[in-house]
Structure 1
Amino acid sequence: MTGLNIKKGDLVQVITGKDKGLQGKVIQAFPDTEKVLVEGVNRVKKHTKVGQSVRGSKTGGIITIEAPIHVSNVMLVVEHEGVKVVTRVGYRRVEEERTLADGSTKTVTRSVRYAKRTGKDI
């Protein structure tokens, strides 16, 4: 199984389902089930008992919380020339110089996420 292209803190837009078109920030990512929790998206009613604590709830009753949504149903939103656009995520290898503790330098390669539509690093 591969990792997720969407990370915690990313701004995403729902591309399918009942909340299609809504944008929100990723609160939490679940790589093992390939789902993400998006702020204000896929809200469901949850019945809680008195004294049970669910995301800050101290009393019982019916509360509304966000439920996880599959990562294939969201796309990353980036800003390009002052306009927010949805894009796919790509990875590219970048070489950079690192200074070691003894003062010498070493060339290392690391993976960088970038927006395929704009070509800019995320």
Structure 2
Amino acid sequence: MNSLHVKKGDRVKVVAGKDKGLVGEIIAVYPEANKVTVQGVNVVKRHVRETATPQGKKVEGGIISSEAPIHASNVQLVVKVDGEEVVTRIGHERREVTKRRPDGTEYPAFRSVRIAKKTGEEI
């Protein structure tokens, strides 16, 4: 399985393409296609036909605007530094944590965390 440098809910800035410079939140991630859907970015219009559901309700037709996925390499994570939003790359670090077994005993283990390269802080 592929993993991306960003996750659903991350605030990102578009760094390439027709929407370059826009900032938005990721609303969907497609790791198998290396794509993400960002709120308010790459908005496309679809012509939808009026249809009926099996229960007999009508689904409204017309021209509907929605976000289309963009390639994950065209977005960069945005973090706050001194109240200002800046773009940063992402690194990974293994941190030691204490885990607890079902019988109550504790043991040391490692967990991978995402790190903002500009600030060094955990995301």
TM-score by length of 2: 0.90
Whole-angstrom distance in 1 between the partners of 2:52 and 2:25? 26
Secondary structure of 1:84's counterpart equals strand
Residue 81 of structure 2 is aligned to residue 80 of structure 1:
yes
User: Unaligned stretches of 5+ in structure 2?
Assistant: 54-58
- 2:6 partner SS: coil
- How many residues in Structure 1 have an aligned counterpart in Structure 2? 118
Local SS of the residue matching 1:2: coil
In 2, distance between residues paired with 1:114 and 1:52?
Answer: 48
Q: What's the counterpart of residue 56 of structure 2?
A: none
Report if aligned partners of 2:10, 2:25 keep a CA contact under 8 Å in 1. yes
Report the RMSD for the aligned CA atoms in angstroms. 1.5
Q: Deviations over 1:3-46 (max 9, x none)?
A: 10110000000001111100000000000000000000000111
Preserved contact between residue 91 and residue 111 of structure 1 (Cα < 8 Å)? yes
Structure 1 unaligned regions, length at least 5 = none
Say if 2:27 and 2:38, in contact at 8 Å, map to a contact too. Answer: yes
8 Å Cα contact 2:2-2:32 kept in structure 1:
no
**Alpha-carbon distance, 1:82 to partner:** 1.1
How much has 1:52 moved relative to structure 2? 7.2
After TM superposition, which residue ranges in structure 1, 4 or more long, deviate above 6 angstroms? none
Offset at 1:103? 2.3
